[in-house]
Amino acid sequence: MAGGSRGGFPAWMTAAAARIDLSGGAAATSGSQPPQPGPPAAVVADQELGMAERALSAASAAFISAIIVNPLDVAKTRLQAQAAGVPYYQAPQMAALGPDAILSELRCSPSCTRGIILGSEPICPPDCFQYKGTVDVFLKVVRQEGFGRLWRGTNAGLALAIPTVGIYLPCYDIFRNKIEDFTRSNAPGLTPYAPLVAGSVARSLACIACSPIELARTRMQAYKEFQPGVKPPGMWKTLLGVLSPHASSSQNVQNYRVLWTGVGAQLARDVPFSAICWSTLEPIRRKLLGLVAEDGDAASVLGANFAAGFVAGSLAAGVTCPLDVAKTRRQIEKDAQKAMRMTTRQTLVDILRSEGPKGLFTGVGPRVARAGPSVGIVISFYEVVKYALHQRNMS
């Protein structure tokens, strides 16, 4: 491939490997020649890409990831919402049903053997509608709502992922490069912490900018439409529903802050997630790229990026799961006044008191299963598109 640098690798893939090592010193160059002053060639090539090109690379990566992992996001949100008391069973209607009512919508599946005869058809007991795990969510959503509902909130997910990652990854790249350049010259011992700081700042900017879309997606995935043939509300209608209790107020501008409900919990979740993820990903990626530096091809380097992203994303998702549970609880609260009064700390304390430590990790399985592949896909695809754009600029 053109644009190669260290060890025959293209600059777009070896930027991370060419940076400083964990002890804060400059990375060694290939061959026996002594290192030259100034930033490595891979870093220079990486810095040649502008903000728009980085944003396009990140948005493309986010588009692919959001579509692939959305069912796991639905499963995670449903499990967390169920623990918060969101109903997935239409129990209140049973008292009004006559002996000849059609009750097929009160079956968890046509093959369920636990149905109780009421009228002309069997109905299932409430616990049939309770989700018992990730696979159970998949099966019940497909049976009761249709296969397409596993991608519920995908439009909001794409509307969220593209600008979020489009802000996040380019800002991370730029902040990391600036911080590493500064610390390399002034405080070499602090250089290994550049990914942690850059990831935290970049994620904070992305979270604040896109929090209303995250609110809409969480509500779209959490709530089930019980009326047959009725299309669930989309992203814009969901956001209008959030604003509607405040529509009659004279303080309209101030009341728009309800769209940022749960942004504190989201920052409390995503900033540590980014700090853990990037401070784990960068050393693993450097190690893996170092192992394939002599005879690796593009596929092996992409594999190194995916593997590093998978491990880092899975670890960060597991550690920050309690904060994700708190975020979901705050964003699915339909009482606007109560939602505005809730705090992340109090939400965590309430969960711990009522459900114990296990409640803080509700949905940890699908969250980890989603985050690992998602980070791996985004990182790998981001590097691919950056390379394509870099090659276009070179030509």
Q: Is residue 5 part of a domain?
A: no
Q: What single-letter DSSP state applies at residue 255?
A: H
Q: What is the pLDDT of residues 227-286, one digit of tens each?
A: 666 677 778 888 888 777 655 554 555 567 778 888 888 898 988 998 899 889 989 988
Q: What is the pLDDT of residues 9-43, one digit of tens each?
A: 444 444 444 333 333 333 333 344 444 444 444 44
Q: Is residue 2 part of a domain?
A: no
In total, how many domains does the chain have?
Answer: 1
Q: Is residue 157 part of a domain?
A: yes
- 169 vs 383: CA distance, rounded Å: 11
Q: What is the mean pLDDT of residues 331-343?
A: 80
The enclosing domain of 288 has a CATH number of 1.50.40.10
Encoded tokens for 109: 């599946």
Q: Is residue 4 part of a domain?
A: no
Q: Is residue 277 part of a domain?
A: yes
Q: Is residue 194 part of a domain?
A: yes
DSSP codes of every residue in 25-83: PPPPPSSSSPPPSSS-HHHHHHHTS-HHHHHHHHHHHHHHHHHHHHHHHHHHHHHHHHH
Residue 105 scores a pLDDT above 60: no
- 165 vs 58: CA distance, rounded Å: 6
Residue 33: which residues within 8 A CB-CB, separation 6 or more? none
Residue 7 scores a pLDDT above 50: no
Q: What is the pLDDT of residues 380-392, one digit of tens each?
A: 887 777 777 767 7
* Strand 116-118, strand 121-123: pairing: antiparallel
Q: What is the pLDDT of residues 145-156, one digit of tens each?
A: 888 888 888 888
Residue 320 scores a pLDDT above 90: yes
What H or E segment, with its residue span, contains residue 232? none
- 269 vs 197: CA distance, rounded Å: 15
Which structural domain, as residue segments, surrounds residue 385?
Answer: 41-85+124-242+253-394
Q: Is residue 326 part of a domain?
A: yes
Binning pLDDT at 50, 70 and 90, where does residue 78 land? very high
Closest CA to 221 of 74, 332, 84: 74
Encoded tokens for 100: 């000849």
Residue 340 scores a pLDDT above 90: no
The pTM assigned to this predicted structure is 0.72
Between residues 312 and 173, which one has the greater pLDDT?
312
Q: Is residue 159 part of a domain?
A: yes
